[in-house]
């Protein structure tokens, strides 16, 4: 049996970050993942500024190595396409200079990005990583958690566990008691394509807010070597109520919609079309209990508006590691002590999640959306707000204030 003070289940962005932060705090840990890396994860592969900022806070060296990582595409902005098909190109930074400015956003296949993080884990002798082991049993004992695979051939005893095993975590469901609620959960699918025409010269990511998907969207994210990640997501209650088959909807849309049909005429799908769940952080939940903390998707922390979850996994992983350090020092792993983790997560991520939930409600209305986009094309103030909304919470706040729309109307 392996014994450790902290055991992390899952080596995706949430678990890997927790391990890296623990390491930088001088605490050794065990990380267990059921997959053998490099492994794929169904995702849009969009890495927002939050990912690099989060890694930078842990160790500037990691962020620098990610900037130099060749398997990613630097992206300089977002193209929004409204339900009425107006297009708005919004750079992440006004008047950016590709040769002088550090890029803010990246698109990187998860098979590469997650492996980059796992390579970072392997650099540290304080992190013991076990790949290809699925933790299926969790037994709470007086002095810790006993974890094992289904057959009981692999066992770990830990003072404290960090649950980072993603959207389908059985611990989240069975022990933490967090249930999937279709109105706060989305279904997403994606495939890789080669040869999609009409991509932006500066690799802007594209979000197409099609009427039948709202508040979800169809995305086209540019990747290196002329590839693109193409997918769509939709709220799970809409999928259920409208009996939508997302895979058919995506392939039909790309074939039948005149704009996409032209752009995808000579494109080739280079992967299978796969789906996965998106547990949205639309409301507060209890994220910890005696001797455990949930991070990333296992904690339901995906941004309800942008669908971004990697940045929040990175942030929550780092917060969990700091909380683990505090608990180890105090020798206190009680549910009350762990509450400090919930408080930190919601202090850091809560305001943004709340805003995004409100924005998600707002974009359900295609007319409002169309109008906003038309205004955005003419109005610099609005364009700046949209430009920074993926990265700047304070600016995003403006979009949910009625006074903002009054001012826009008056300035027309």
Ligand X SMILES: Cc1cc2nc3c(=O)[nH]c(=O)nc-3n(C[C@H](O)[C@H](O)[C@H](O)COP(=O)(O)OP(=O)(O)OC[C@H]3O[C@@H](n4cnc5c(N)ncnc54)[C@H](O)[C@@H]3O)c2cc1C
Q: Which of residues 276-315 bind ligand X (CB under 6 A)?
A: 276, 278, 296-298, 302, 307-311, 313
Closest to ligand X by CB, 188 or 215? 188
What is the nearest approach in angstroms of ligand X to the Cβ of residue 7?
Answer: 10
Window of 163-171, 192-200, 244-252, 351-359 that interacts with ligand X by CB under 6 A = 163-171
Q: Rounded CA gap, 159 and 146, in Å?
A: 9
The 30-69 contact track toward ligand X, x by CB under 6 A, reads --xxxx-----xxxxxx-----------------------
Distance, CA of 170 to CA of 287 (rounded, Å): 14
- CA 151 to chain centroid, in Å, comes to 32
| Angle at which helices 49-58 and 60-68 cross, to 10° | 140
Distance CA 409, CA 412 (A): 5
User: Is residue 249 helix, strand or coil?
Assistant: helix
Residue 11, interface with ligand X (CB under 6 A)?
Answer: yes
Q: Which is nearer to ligand X, 24 or 39 (CB)?
A: 39
Radius of gyration, alpha carbons of the chain = 21
What gap in Å lies between CA 408 and CA 406, rounded to an integer? 5
Q: Which is nearer to ligand X, 12 or 375 (CB)?
A: 12
Helix (H, G, I), strand (E, B) or coil at 96: coil
Of the two residues 27 and 313, which places its CB atom closer to ligand X in the complex?
A: 313
Instruction: State which of positions 185-204 bind ligand X (CB under 6 A).
Output: 188-190
- Smallest gap from residue 243 Cβ to ligand X (A): 20
Q: Which range of residues in 129-137, 194-202, 282-290, 368-376 is near ligand X by CB under 6 A?
A: 129-137
Q: Which residues within the stretch 234-273 sit at the binding site for ligand X (CB under 6 A)? A: none
Q: Are 264 and 253 in contact (CB under 8 A)?
A: no
Beta carbon of residue 315, minimum distance to ligand X (angstroms, whole number)? 11
Comparing CA positions, the residue from 412, 43, 344 lying closest to residue 221 is 43
> Cα-flanking dihedrals φ and ψ of residue 89, to 5°?
-90, 120
Q: Specify the residue, 205 or 388, whose C-beta has the smaller distance to ligand X.
A: 205
Supply the minimum distance, in Å, between the C-beta of residue 360 and ligand X: 15
Report DSSP state, residue 385. Answer: H
Nearest C-alpha neighbor of 176 from the set 77, 80, 287: 287
CA–CA gap between residue 338 and residue 264 (Å, rounded) = 50
- Whichever of 90 and 408 has its CB closer to ligand X, that residue is 90
- Among 4, 6, 8, 15, contact with ligand X (rule: CB under 6 A): 15
Binding residues vs ligand X (CB under 6 A): 9-15, 32-35, 41-46, 134-136, 164-167, 188-190, 231, 233, 276, 278, 296-298, 302, 307-311, 313
């Amino acid at each position: 049996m392996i014994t450790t003070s902290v055991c992390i289940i899952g080596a995706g962005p949430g678990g890997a970050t927790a391990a890296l932060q623990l390491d930088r705090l001088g605490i050794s840990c065990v990380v267990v993942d059921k997959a053998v890396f490099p492994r794929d994860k169904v995702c849009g592969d969009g890495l927002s500024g939050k990912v690099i900022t989060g890694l930078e806070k842990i160790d500037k060296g990691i962020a620098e190595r990610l900037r130099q990582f060749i398997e990613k595409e630097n992206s300089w902005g977002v193209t929004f396409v409204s339900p009425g098909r107006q297009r708005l190109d919004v750079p992440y930074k006004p008047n950016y200079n590709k040769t002088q400015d550090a890029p803010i956003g990246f698109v990187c296949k998860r098979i590469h990005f997650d492996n980059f993080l796992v390579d970072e884990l392997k650099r540290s002798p304080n992190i013991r990583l076990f790949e290809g082991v699925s933790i299926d049993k969790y037994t709470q004992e007086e002095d810790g958690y006993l974890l094992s695979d289904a057959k009981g051939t692999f066992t770990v005893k830990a003072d404290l566990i960090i649950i980072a095993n993603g959207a389908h975590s059985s611990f989240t469901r069975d022990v933490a008691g967090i249930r999937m609620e279709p109105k706060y959960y989305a279904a997403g699918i994606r495939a890789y394509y080669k040869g999609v025409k009409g991509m932006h010269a500066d690799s802007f990511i594209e979000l197409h807010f099609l009427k039948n998907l709202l508040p979800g969207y169809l995305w086209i994210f540019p990747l290196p070597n002329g590839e693109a990640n193409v997918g769509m997501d939709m709220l799970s209650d809409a999928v259920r109520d409208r009996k939508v088959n997302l895979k058919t909807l995506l392939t039909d849309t790309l074939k039948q919609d005149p704009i996409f049909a032209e752009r995808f005429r000579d494109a080739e799908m280079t992967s299978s079309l796969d789906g996965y769940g998106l547990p949205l952080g639309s409301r507060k939940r209890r994220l910890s209990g005696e001797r455990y903390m949930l991070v990333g998707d296992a904690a339901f922390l995906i941004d309800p508006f942008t669908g971004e979850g990697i940045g929040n996994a990175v942030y929550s992983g780092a917060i969990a590691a700091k909380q683990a350090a505090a608990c180890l020092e105090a020798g206190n792993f009680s549910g009350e002590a762990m509450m400090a983790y919930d408080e930190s997560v919601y202090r850091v991520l809560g305001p943004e999640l709340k805003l995004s939930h409100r924005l998600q409600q707002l974009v359900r209305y295609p007319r409002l959306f169309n109008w906003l986009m038309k205004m955005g094309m003419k109005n610099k103030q609005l364009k700046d707000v949209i430009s920074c909304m993926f990265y700047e919470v304070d600016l995003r706040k403006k979009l949910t204030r009625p006074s903002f729309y009054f001012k826009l109307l008056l300035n027309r």
